[in-house]
Structure 1
Amino acid sequence: MTSGKVSETASATISPSPALVPRTKRAIVDLQTVGKTEIPPPLQLDPYFSPERLRDFEHARLFDGCSHVLAALDAIHPYLTKFFAENAWMSTFGAENTQITTLQSSTRLDSDGRGLAEEESDSEDSDDHVRGRSLSYPRVKSRWRLPEWLDPNETAEIVIYPGVRTQTFAPQKVINLEETGRPARRPSTESTGSARRPSYGWSRSAVSQEEEEEVEKKRLIVLPAALVLGGTFDLSEGSILIGKHARIEPNVFIKGPAIIGARSTLRSGTYIRGDVIVGRNVVLRGELKNSVIMDDAELCHPGYCGDSICGFKSHFGNQVTTANLSLFPGSNLTIDVNGITYDTGRRKAGVILGDGSQLGCSSVTDPCTLIQQHTVVYPLTRLRKGIYESSLLIKNKPMEKGVLEIAPMRPAKRD
Structure 2
Amino acid sequence: MNPLIDQLFDLSHSLAAPLLQRVNHPWEALPQLAAYLQELAKNLPADFEEIAPQVWVGKGTYIEKTALINGPAIIGRNCEIRHAAYFRSNVLLGDEVVVGNSTELKNVILFDKVQVPHFNYAGDSILGYKAHLGAGAILANFKSTGDEIHVYLDGKKTGTGLNKFGSLIGDHVEVGCNSVLFPGTIVERNVVIYPLCPVRGYIQSGSTLKNDGQVYPRS
Q: What TM-score results when the alignment is normalised by the length of structure 1?
A: 0.50
1:408 paired residue number: 217
Name the structure, 1 or 2, with higher relative contact order (CA <8 Å, separation 6+): 1
List runs of 5+ in structure 1 lacking aligned partners.
Answer: 1-35, 96-159, 162-220, 223-232, 398-403, 411-415
Correspondences of 1:150-165 after superposition (within 5 Å): none
Partner amino acid, structure 1, of 2:134? G
Spell out, residue by residue over 1:32-91, the C-alpha distance to the aligned partner (whole angstroms, 9 max, x if none): xxxx8xx7x5xx2011013xxx1343332221311112122123112012223xx222xx
Paired with 2:89 and 2:204, the residues of 1 have a C-alpha distance of: 30
Aligned to 2:130, which of 308, 313, 321?
A: 313
Spell out, residue by residue over 1:165-201, the C-alpha distance to the aligned partner (whole angstroms, 9 max, x if none): xxxxxxxxxxxxxxxxxxxxxxxxxxxxxxxxxxxxx
Correspondences of 1:68-87 after superposition (within 5 Å): 68-84=25-41, 87=42
Paired with 2:160 and 2:82, the residues of 1 have a C-alpha distance of: 34
Q: What TM-score results when the alignment is normalised by the length of structure 2?
A: 0.93
Aligned to 1:373, which of 189, 209, 213?
A: 189
Correspondences of 1:74-113 after superposition (within 5 Å): 74-84=31-41, 87-89=42-44, 93-94=45-46
Q: Secondary structure at the match of 1:309?
A: strand
Aligned to 2:120, which of 295, 298, 303?
A: 303
1:283 paired residue number: 98
Q: Secondary structure at the match of 2:40?
A: helix
2:167 paired residue number: 351
Q: Which runs of 4+ in 1 moved over 3 A?
A: none
Spell out, residue by residue over 1:235-277, the C-alpha distance to the aligned partner (whole angstroms, 9 max, x if none): 4xxx010111100012100000000100001001100000000
Correspondences of 1:211-226 after superposition (within 5 Å): 221-222=50-51
Paired with 1:314 and 1:276, the residues of 2 have a C-alpha distance of: 16
Aligned residues of 2:139 and 2:180 also touching (Cα < 8 A): yes
Deviates more, 1:57-66 or 1:298-307: 57-66
Residues 358/298 of structure 1: CA separation in 2 closer, same or farther (3 Å cut): same
Q: Secondary structure at the match of 1:288?
A: strand
Correspondences of 1:70-219 after superposition (within 5 Å): 70-84=27-41, 87-89=42-44, 93-94=45-46
Correspondences of 1:5-16 after superposition (within 5 Å): none
1:259 paired residue number: 74
Aligned residues of 1:273 and 1:289 also touching (Cα < 8 A): yes
Q: Relative to total residues, which structure has the larger strand share, 1 or 2?
A: 2
Aligned residues of 2:58 and 2:75 also touching (Cα < 8 A): yes
Aligned residues of 2:13 and 2:112 also touching (Cα < 8 A): no
Q: Secondary structure at the match of 1:77?
A: helix
List runs of 5+ in structure 2 lacking aligned partners.
Answer: none
Partner amino acid, structure 2, of 1:299? V
Partner amino acid, structure 2, of 1:352? L
Correspondences of 1:44-83 after superposition (within 5 Å): 44-50=4-10, 54-83=11-40
Q: How far does residue 343 in structure 1 lie from its aligned partner after superposition? A: 1.2
Number of residues of Structure 1 aligned to a counterpart in Structure 2: 217
Q: Which has the larger radius of gyration?
A: 1
Paired with 1:291 and 1:343, the residues of 2 have a C-alpha distance of: 20
Correspondences of 1:232-243 after superposition (within 5 Å): 235=53, 239-243=54-58
Partner amino acid, structure 1, of 2:112? D
Aligned residues of 1:63 and 1:75 also touching (Cα < 8 A): no
User: How large is the RMSD of aligned CA atoms in angstroms?
Assistant: 1.8
% identity of equivalent residues: 32
1:327 paired residue number: 144
1:294 paired residue number: 111
Q: How far does residue 378 in structure 1 lie from its aligned partner after superposition? A: 0.6
Aligned residues of 2:16 and 2:109 also touching (Cα < 8 A): no
